[in-house]
Structure 1
Amino acid sequence: MSVDVSQRVKQLRRQLPDAFRLPTEADPRPANRQIAAVCAWAAALGLGGMAVALRAFVGLVAEYRGWYAPTVVTIGLLGLACTIGAFASVHRRRLPFALLGVASVSLLIGWIVTGL
């Protein structure tokens, strides 16, 4: 079983640098529609993130809860990292949208947590 896991780790190490790299001149240009869709989705996430950040600020000022700040920051950083990854992988077909989906789930979780 450990051999299978080590092979998967090796395969992942080979694939990740190709998935998350800036495109070169040799890469095909992404379609304008795909770039526009990624930008629009990221803009919507940014606006939603501002609303969650405002709620988080109010939650931080209102009362002290030791778990609150690290949880909100972790959720926000996860969403931000996925959104940045979507832009870095825009030359891929599905990866940017999968990452933006994870960022959307992160935003939804942030909205729920800040409402507590």
Structure 2
Amino acid sequence: MSVDVSRVKRLRRHLPDAFRLPTEADPRPDNRQIAAVCAWAAALGLGGMAVALRAFVGLIGQYRVWYGPVVITIGLLGLACTIAAFASVHRRRLPYALLGAASVSLLLGWIVTGL
């Protein structure tokens, strides 16, 4: 498997700009965008609480070696994507892509905890 060096260099150059805290020189995000990101994150938080309750019941129920690490990894991935969405709120589309990834993580958590 070969790695495209130019793609890696471009990613290393653009990634820190995408996930930085805004400065005074950055334009202020639109209030609707901030409200949308907050509402989506709140919905993810409520859904995450439901998944966490199901995961707790699954952890104290039947013992499965794989269950704990998988549920924790899925939860941390979703949490990291949600935090990154807030860190990139000054971008136009990136917060929504990250919240979409967090939603997929929440759906995976719901599926795994239902097993």
Give the structure-2-normalised TM-score. Answer: 0.97
Matches within 5 A, 1:9-88: 9-88=8-87
Distance 2:76 2:15 in 1: 20
Distance in 1 (CA, whole Å) between partners of 2:68 and 2:10 is 36
Tell me which stretches of 4 or more aligned residues in structure 1 moved more than 3 Å. Answer: none
Structure 1 residue aligned with 2:103? 104
Q: How many Å separate the matches in 1 of 2:15 and 2:53?
A: 34
| Structure 2: gaps of 5 or more residues | none
Determine whether 1:92 maps to 2:91.
yes
Shift of 1:98: 0.3
Percent of counterpart pairs with the same letter?
84
Count of paired positions: 115
What is the rounded CA distance, in whole Å, between the counterparts of 2:48 and 2:29 in structure 1?
26
C-alpha distance in 2, partners of 1:12/1:44?
31
Superposed CA RMSD: 1.1
Deviates more, 1:70-79 or 1:4-13: 4-13
- Partner of residue 115, structure 1: 114
Residues 24-64 of structure 1: CA deviation (Å, up to 9, x unaligned): 00000000000000000000000000000000000000011
What is the TM-score with the length of structure 1 in the denominator? 0.97
Where in structure 1 are there 5+ consecutive unaligned residues?
none
